[in-house]
Structure 1
Amino acid sequence: MTEQHQHYFTADPNAVSDPRVLTVELPDLTLKLTTDAGVFSPKQLDPGTRVLLENAPAPTADGDLLDVGCGYGPIALTLAKRYPGRRITGVDVNTRSLELARANAKAAGVDTITCLLPDEVPADARFAAIYSNPPIRIGKQALHELLLHWLGRLQPDGVAYLVVQKNLGSDSLAKWLTEQGHATERIATDKGYRVLATRPKP
């Protein structure tokens, strides 16, 4: 496992700080994001995140949005720019990531994003949509627990959009989610990644 993967899902990474600014070009907007060592994909926008942001549809239900594993904020900030009337919560276990995401939102003049540790999200919070590049490398059991926890926070009419690399088990994950009562379908395939749409339990 690389140093990056050892640290990006660590609560308090000990990697030596090495901040840099990334320019992220998407079809409809451009973001300038400060990243640092010890967070997920600090040197470029992760290819899976790009696939998600280029393929996931707009939320269909009214309500707040959730970015699970927000990192330094590319998904949350894109959502804030695309859907300015929505409130967005970004969650991550990595405190350095949360600090960067907050700073990036402030630098972009965005005040609709709240970045929290998972336990800080109010127990009664429910979301119209989840957008996530989930941390596959934390292990299958931990990943399953994480996904079931947050899928349980969807509104009845909500949808979660997840991007997962095909060779890291996207198809088997989709099958497992459906078996758990969360109907899941593949809505896009791009550059070796699948974008899955997952529904709450009926």
Structure 2
Amino acid sequence: MAHIEPPQANEQYFSASPSSKDVRHAMRVTLRGHEAQIETSNGVFSAHRVDLGTSVLLRHAPQPPERGDFLDLGCGWGAISLALALESPRAEVYAVDVNERAIELTERNAELNGCANIHAGEADDVPDGLEFELIWSNPPIRIGKEELHTLLMTWLPRLAPDGYAYLVVQKNLGSDSLMRWLADALSDAYEVDKYASSKGYRVIEVHRLH
């Protein structure tokens, strides 16, 4: 089994092109009751495991619709995308990241688990005008508040009418202030609420009413 090297000190998982060596590591994981064989590598978010925030989201988010267009924003190696695709095989799951290695790993993991309904790529690879019935995300809080706000306000307005987004954010990294900001920043066509709390994380629900 390959050894996972720690990322270089100056490298972040949200780098477009990780400079660390691409050393693949095979694991089996359980995602909302679905067993999956996956590969991870250096230079991507939570290369060693399903991270705690994502685990909280997968444990608490409600059952996704059977079909529709779904978005995994900041997909990493694809844990959320795989969970959505395995739970709703008739849905189309768009997995978006800036990290080229993360995109490649998500594509590989989709192939390993027979999930032809996962479409991994950069933001520009998502069809213009596409609206999403569902968005799940463990957003990259550490990119900074301004960049995070820009990211969320790029994608949350692309919820379809009566669509839902579920975001998992650590309480001590500003989940409650982010919730208040979203409620102010989004129009009155949206509702923002706390959906669940667990292990130091909040799951934020955003509902587009119309």
> Normalised by the shorter chain, which TM-score bucket?
over 0.9
* Distance in 2 separating the partners of 1:61 and 1:196: 22
Distance 1:80 1:156, change over 3 A: same
Cα distance change, pair 97–4 in 1 and its aligned pair in 2 (3 A) = farther
Q: Deviations over 1:137-189 (max 9, x none)?
A: 00000000000100011101101000000100000000000011242111111
Task: Report the CA distance shift for 1:5/1:85 in structure 2 as closer, same or farther (over 3 A).
Answer: farther
Aligned to 2:203: 195
Looking at structure 1, the residues matched to 9 and 81 of structure 2 have their Cα atoms a distance apart, in angstroms, of 21
Give percent identity, aligned residues only.
45
Distance in 1 between residues matched to 2:144 and 2:10, nearest whole Å: 12
Structure 1 stretch 85-94 or stretch 6-15: which is displaced more?
6-15
Q: Does the 8 A contact of 1:76 with 1:90 survive in 2?
A: yes
SS in 2 for 1:151: helix
CA contact (8 A) 2:133 2:163 kept: yes
1:48 pairs with 2:53: yes
Partner of 1:179: 184
How many residues are paired up?
201
More displaced 10-residue stretch of structure 1: 134-143 or 13-22: 13-22
One-letter identity of the residue aligned with 1:184? V
Quick one: structure 1 residues 4 and 177, their matched pair in 2 at CA, closer, same or farther if it must change by over 3 Å? farther
Q: Note the alpha carbon deviations across 1:19-66, whole angstroms, 9 max, x for none.
A: 112221245222221000000000111100010011001235962110
Q: Residue 17 of structure 2 contacts residue 100 of structure 2 at CA under 8 Å; is this kept in 1?
A: yes
Partner of residue 127 from structure 1, selected from 116, 132, 138: 132
Q: Specify the alignment match of 1:71 in structure 2.
A: 76
1:108 corresponds to which residue?
113
The answer to whether residue 102 in structure 2 is matched with residue 93 in structure 1 is no
Using the TM superposition, name which of 62-71 and 20-29 deviates more. Answer: 20-29
Matched, 1:57 2:62: yes
User: Shift of residue 80 of structure 1?
Assistant: 0.6
Give the Å deviation of 1:84. 1.1
Question: 1:107 Cα deviation (Å)?
Answer: 0.9
CA RMSD, Structure 1 to Structure 2 (Å): 1.8
Contact 1:61 1:158 in 2 (8 A): no
Match of 1:8 in 2: 13
**TM-score, structure 2 normalization:** 0.90
Normalising to structure 1: TM-score of the pair? 0.94
Tell me the secondary structure at the aligned position of residue 14 of structure 1. coil
Residues 59, 128 of structure 1: 8 Å contact kept: no
- Among 139, 154, 157, the residue aligned to 1:152: 157
The runs of 5 or more residues in structure 1 that have no matched partner are none
